[in-house]
């Protein structure tokens, strides 16, 4: 990863952490930007901050544990004060594509029960229109071939994600991932509805009306973009 991009990710993580308050239950995202968040959070916990984190992946769980962040499961907490997570694309309406790191299902579950969702990104993630990044879709393995056919009927080229060993990638929830190349997504809400209607699709990486704040890391600081109105319940 280019050093300047990693600096932007760290700047975004630092600024995102300013939303953390003592006593909070935190959703801990997945990916390289979220990893900066977890490491910095570990430093603050070491300095006396009292929080509990709900990790969105096994990798984040392992990192948070190594950094000394106290953890909780969704059997122990059912409501999260604040989630800080990364993203693959963010459009001007703060609609987001996630799942490049393979954790979209747990990430969306955690985001859906979060009072506030702060997305932390480097500047390369800002786009005018979603869809240049292939949209990840989590499917049940039994249905992966027929799901690919149904996904292609929505206007994309669908590719089953493979792991480094050339066999289908398996998510932390035991599912397969299909990366869907749309090129451009003109109507994200309509597409989300179509994807939700495909039997065998477990969840997709369109996070619409979920992000409250997007923090964009820059070389010398961070830009904060807030939604005009609070989306939850509207
Ligand atoms: C994982 C994700 C990540 O947040 C997304 O891929 C961004 O990752 P990074 O911060 O490494 O650029 O959605 O499922």
Domain boundaries, given as residue ranges, for the chain:
2-125+208-222, 135-203
Mutate to test the pocket of ligand 1, among 8, 10, 13, 30 (most ligand atoms within 8 A of CB): 30
The answer, yes or no, to whether any atom of ligand 1 lies below 6 A from the CB of 53, is: no
Report yes or no: 30 and 85 within 8 Å, Cβ to Cβ.
Answer: yes
What are residue 113's phi and psi, to 5 degrees?
-110, 15
Q: How many CB atoms lie within 10 A of CB 120?
A: 31
The percent of the chain in helix, strand and coil, each rounded to the nearest 5, is 30, 25, 40
* 102 ligand 1 Cβ < 6 A: yes
CATH fold of 2-125+208-222: Rossmann fold (3.40.50)
Calculate mean pLDDT across residues 22-44.
98
Whether the CB of 29 sits within 6 Å of ligand 1: yes
Q: List the single range of 79-83, 90-94, 227-231 with lowest mean pLDDT.
A: 227-231
Residue 2 banded pLDDT, cuts 50, 70, 90: confident
Give every strand in the sheet of 25-28, ordered side by side.
52-55, 25-28, 80-85, 114-122, 213-218, 221-226
Say how many Å lie between the CA of residue 29 and the centre of ligand 1.
8
Query: At 1, is the pLDDT very low, low, confident or very high (cuts 50, 70, 90)?
Result: low
Question: Which ligand 1 atom is nearest residue 100's CA?
Answer: 6
CATH annotation of 135-203 = 3.30.70.260
pLDDT interval class at 228 (50, 70, 90): confident
- The rounded percent of the chain whose pLDDT value lies above 70 is 97
Among candidate residues 121, 103, 2, the one with its CA nearest the CA of residue 55: 103
Angle at 12 (CA atoms; ends 93, 24), nearest 5 degrees: 90
| pTM for the structure as a whole | 0.96
pLDDT in tens, 120-146: 999 999 999 999 999 999 999 999 999
Could you report the per-residue pLDDT of 162-186, keeping only the tens digit for each?
A: 999 999 999 999 999 999 999 999 9
Q: Is the minimum distance from the CB of 31 to ligand 1 under 6 angstroms? A: yes
């Amino acid at each position: 990863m280019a050093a300047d991009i990693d600096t932007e990710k760290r700047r975004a993580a630092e600024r995102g952490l300013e939303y953390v308050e003592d006593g909070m239950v935190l959703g801990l995202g997945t990916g390289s930007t979220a990893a900066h968040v977890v490491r910095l959070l570990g430093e603050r916990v070491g300095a006396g901050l009292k929080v509990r984190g709900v990790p969105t992946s096994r990798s984040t769980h392992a990192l948070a544990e190594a950094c000394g962040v106290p953890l909780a499961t969704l059997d122990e907490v059912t409501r999260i004060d604040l989630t800080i997570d990364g993203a693959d694309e963010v459009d001007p309406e703060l609609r987001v594509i996630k799942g490049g790191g393979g954790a979209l299902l747990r990430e969306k579950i955690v985001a859906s029960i979060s009072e506030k969702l702060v997305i932390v990104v480097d500047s390369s993630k800002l786009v005018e229109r979603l869809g240049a990044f292939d949209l990840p879709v989590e499917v049940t393995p039994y249905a992966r071939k027929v799901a690919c056919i149904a996904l292609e009927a929505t206007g994309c080229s669908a590719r089953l994600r493979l792991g480094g060993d050339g066999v289908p990638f398996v998510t932390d929830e035991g599912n397969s991932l299909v990366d869907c190349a749309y090129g451009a997504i003109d109507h994200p809400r309509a597409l989300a509805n179509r994807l939700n209607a495909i039997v065998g699709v477990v969840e997709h990486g369109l996070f619409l009306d979920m992000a409250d704040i997007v923090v964009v890391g820059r070389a010398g600081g961070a830009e904060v973009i807030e939604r005009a109105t609070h989306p939850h319940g509207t």
